[in-house]
Amino acid sequence: MRGNADGRSTERIGSADDDQDGAADVPRETGRCPGDVGWCTMSTSPETGLYGTPIAEEAVRAARVLHPDENAMPRPTHRRILTVANQKGGVGKTTSTVNLAAGLALHGVRTLVIDLDPQGNASTALDVDRRSGTPSVYELLLGEVSLLDATQASPQSENLLCVPATIDLAGAEIELVSMAQRESRLKEALTREALDSLGVDYVFIDCPPSLGLLTVNALVTAHEVLIPIQCEYYALEGLGQLLNNIELVQRHLNQMLRVSTILLTMYDGRTKLADQVAQEVRRHFGDVVLRTVIPRSVKVSEAPGYSQTVLAYDPGSRGAMSYLDAAREIAERGSNRERRQ
């Protein structure tokens, strides 16, 4: 770790062997106390100063996840509903949804994930039942079950809930076309009373990688849009179309909707391209972009195969810590915004 001219510290991602392959330093904004965003990237001990081994540092990071009471995240005064959307596949949309939700839940913030993607990957990562016939978001959209009946608790945290997607959702868009109020079916199901009965502070809606009726339902329901952007060459492809659709929904169906958060994912510090994409996104979108970036991580990719988020699968990994930082930043930004209002 070393200092930059602007006062931020940088940390090398990877093992000692990565240095021989030209691994680059990745900017990580580090705080001065455990409550600051990025604190987890500075592993220190009152007795010995900086920990000297990666294993010791990972143990400290894991302890921070597993013992969250010492560093609780702020709860919002008003419930926040965020749609996680990007019609480009493979940008870390579902991965970001479940890990941000898990980060908040593990730190005392009751969170609901609505899996609106027929692939059901968010349901798999949260280890909830998604077999055909299980009360799910499909029946919720059709008005056949209540939100309470369709909601399951994830075994990963008592504060983490999920409305799963089953294979039945695959044909939902065709069925919705002929229905009355087809764009607002989800909003009608997520009434204030229904959400109050679950006691949730945050709702994350995971969208399919398309701009169809399911995504429109999510945009009509939400107050905020969170857009994950991969730090790759084609990252911005199609983003303009998504923003245009958000503007149309805002103009005609949901005046409260706004893009509140952009999260940079799959950052590879060994490439100049990742830096260039990150700089371009920050230049264009400004403070909407989170300071925390999500690095490329094998652990993040492995976790869904074990029906876990990365915070449950390997809580001391860089990927887990980055998502925890991002969740805290989202929570603190919301808290600061409410104070200003």
**DSSP secondary structure string for all residues of 156-171:** T-TTEEEE---GGGGG
**Contact call for residues 224 and 263 (beta carbons, < 8 A):** no
Single pTM value for the model: 0.81
Express each pLDDT in 295-327 by its tens digit.
999 999 999 999 999 999 999 999 999 999 999
Among the listed residues 25, 72, 106, 38, the one whose alpha carbon sits nearest the alpha carbon of residue 322: 38
Secondary structure (3-state) at 329 = helix
Instruction: Extract the tokens encoding 114.
Output: 């609505």
Q: How far apart are CA 72 and CA 233, in angstroms?
A: 37
Kindly list the structural domains of the chain, giving each domain's residue range(s) and its CATH number in brackets, ordered by start: 74-340 (3.40.50.300)
Main-chain dihedrals φ then ψ at residue 57, nearest 5 degrees: -65, -40
Q: How far apart are CA 117 and CA 286, in angstroms?
A: 29
Among the listed residues 205, 94, 97, 112, the one whose alpha carbon sits nearest the alpha carbon of residue 157: 112
Beta strands 49-50 and 44-45: pairing type?
antiparallel
Structure confidence at residue 58 (pLDDT): 57
Query: What DSSP string runs through 129-148?
Result: ---TTS--HHHHHHTSS-HH
DSSP 8-state secondary structure symbol assigned to residue 68: G
Secondary structure (3-state) at 13 = coil
Q: How far apart are CA 273 and CA 233, in angstroms?
A: 7
Instruction: Extract the tokens encoding 159.
Output: 């504060």
What is the Rg, in whole angstroms, of the alpha carbon atoms belonging to the chain?
Answer: 20
**Regions of the chain short of the pLDDT cut 70:** 1-70, 335-341
Q: How many CB atoms lie within 10 A of CB 234?
A: 11
Structure confidence at residue 35 (pLDDT): 39
Among the listed residues 23, 34, 16, the one whose alpha carbon sits nearest the alpha carbon of residue 71: 34
Q: How far apart are CA 124 and CA 102, in angstroms?
A: 14
Instruction: Extract the tokens encoding 249.
Output: 């929904």
Q: How far apart are CA 12 and CA 37, in angstroms?
A: 18
DSSP 8-state secondary structure symbol assigned to residue 289: E
Helix (H) or strand (E) holding 230: strand 224-230
